[in-house]
Chain A
């Protein structure tokens, strides 16, 4: 290469380019999968209208291109997809992309807050547990972790609602904003934050437990490594040893897991958003399945795959930043 391109940029571009075949694979796969479904959009439409005469149905099919072979339909679909055209949602009477975009923000908000909570608390508690391994504190933290891990998120959501909304009345039962309040500025931010407390807690707890347990194991492993002994032989100890030598190295597997698990976290939003009536992608997925809005469902698969790919690239970059042995080439 003759042009001096920063390695970070080439690396990012390369990772994004590598992800394209995976996205294509997913879209082809899910398109074919949905073609296996009994009944298509027209059937659903007609069913919704309470029946129609066969000629009209045939005309509709031709209009939607559903009379073509599957391969032709696939080709057309992929072409449209390349222009971010996900088709029309007959349930919302809008282009799918419009429906998706109007809800993307809420889901991202929930993702970011949940992951931040899970990561921060998970890593901190895990490190504390490892530092005091096999002590009373460690047993407490580890037991709590196991319980969190075994707690179904929907059950936890109900418990939170029962306690904080029904009994104590501190937090709103659902939604993203107080309906009809029309707050602005910081008042609006505070309102949204209040609405996000329970969903965030319910979604993050299981991952918090994951990161905590992994961090604990990882810290214990790193503490046994040679270079930690070197640091101690130099006279380093206490917080210095923990932060500079142990924690940073111990974070590596946690970052890997964060990337690998992100899609699961996104999947978990289906339940949480449905319970807390948060108008996000997850809730949309649930209603699309119930109402058989397959175009929207395909759009959700596409957009969530793209988000997962982006998050994975970001975690790879964080990993490379943490570990200088990884060379961004």
Chain B
């Protein structure tokens, strides 16, 4: 049963003051979801850590800052302990938050941008254009993305810029497919025909008519891309293939592996940091999705 249409009764319109703006409605729905709020809080904490890294833990996070392998809560100078080279774990966590966020945001922007353009063109024009673009997409999807990522990093080097670009390049296929599917269903909707019937150009139809309607699910999906980007960077760093000049959570876990038996905290603390950061993106994405599609939930 659908929501009853009251078209018979009401030829009058509801009061405009009672109709809140779209974004406000979304925020209200989002706010009602406790898990999503938790995600938001976690996210804000990570952002604050990244922003305040130089204030709370000033100086190079990779320098020797205390006796090696100090356990957490022992020394006031190293509240989360130190690793085998005497590097402060708390400094690593705070500075690592920066790298994770930068990688997450920039790589996501790159992959979503590529995905939107390719998906939109393929989905709107269809036919041969679609066929050719989908072959390329399939090719990218067929190579295991982590193997491609390793190859790209091996070839172009593991500076942070290269890693960000490489992650963007290996993760655009899913957004592209998604945008394509949205475009294929939206281009059949009558409002697109209506715009064509008014003489609106193809470019304007793609970007001004269809794209705004196709974006909400893509924005939700961006949270997934963000999460996987962070996971990919940390996996690279874990394998020792990250940028050695920056503190990275993955790298900390990788280094902690050799002292796992004696000093578990060296890997567990950054591990929990990744876990919570990725969790915050998932929770927010989920909450956003529920807010955008209220019918799925009670």
Contact = CB atoms under 8 A, between A and B. Distances in A.
Q: Do chains A and B touch in the complex (CB under 8 A)?
A: yes
Interface stretch (A63-71, A94-102, A150-158, A192-200): A150-158
A86 to B, nearest CB: 15
Interface string B233-264: 01100110100000000100110110011001
Interface string A106-143: 00000000000000000000000000001000000001
B142 A147 contact: no
Contacts of A315: none
B136 interface: yes
Given A22-B138, A155-B267, A162-B260, A286 B239 contact: yes
Contacts, number: 139
A22 B139 contact: yes
B104 to A, nearest CB: 13
Contacts of B144: 263-264, 266-267, 270, 304, 308
A165 to B, nearest CB: 10
A289 B241 contact: yes
B150 A36 contact: no
B195 interface: no
A270 B145 CA distance: 11
Interface in A214-269: 217, 220, 260, 263-264, 266-268
Contacts of B138: 22
Nearest to A35: B155
Contacts of A292: 154
B291 to A, nearest CB: 16
B227 A150 contact: yes
A21 interface: yes
A300 B143 CA distance: 10
Interface residues of A, number: 50
Interface string A15-33: 0000001110110011001
Contacts of B241: 289
B142 A21 contact: no
B274 interface: yes
Interface string A286-312: 100100100001001100110011001
B135 A158 contact: no
Given A152-B274, A155-B267, A270 B147 contact: yes
B29 to A, nearest CB: 16
Contacts of A166: 260-261
Contact of B238 (A134, A154, A267, A301): A154
B26 interface: no
A265 to B, nearest CB: 8
A204 interface: no
Interface stretch (B52-60, B105-113, B121-129, B276-284): B276-284
B296 A270 contact: no
B268 interface: yes
A3 interface: no
B191 interface: no
Interface of A is mostly: helix
A25 B155 contact: no
B231 A152 contact: yes
A289 B274 contact: no
Contacts of B267: 155, 158
A33 B139 contact: no
Contact of A220 (B174, B257, B296): B296
A274 B240 CA distance: 12
Interface centre among A30, A166, A267 (most CB of B within 10 A): A267
B185 interface: no
A146 B149 CA distance: 25
A300 B268 CA distance: 32
B146 A271 contact: yes
Given A134-B298, A147-B275, A159-B268, A270 B151 contact: no
A271 B177 CA distance: 27
Given A162-B260, A264-B144, A301-B147, A29 B235 contact: no
Interface in B157-173: none
A77 interface: no
Nearest to A26: B139
Contacts of B67: none
A152 B271 contact: yes
Contacts of B253: 152, 154-155, 158
A217 B286 CA distance: 12
A161 interface: yes
A152 B238 CA distance: 10
Given A146-B283, A285-B147, A308 B142 contact: yes
Given A26-B139, A289-B151, A264 B235 contact: no
B284 to A, nearest CB: 11
B142 A305 contact: yes
B239 to A, nearest CB: 6
B154 A158 contact: no
Contacts of B135: 21-22, 25
Interface centre among B142, B257, B264 (most CB of A within 10 A): B142
A34 interface: yes
Going nearest first, the 3 A-B pairs with the smallest beta carbon separation are A267-B146, A267-B144, A150-B278
Given A159-B268, A271-B146, 9 more contacts: A22-B138, A25-B136, A26-B143, A150-B279, A220-B296, A263-B143, A289-B151, A305-B142, A312-B142
20 contacts: A26-B139, A26-B143, A36-B156, A149-B282, A150-B276, A150-B282, A151-B275, A155-B275, A158-B257, A166-B261, A260-B174, A264-B146, A267-B144, A268-B146, A297-B151, A297-B154, A301-B147, A301-B148, A304-B143, A304-B144
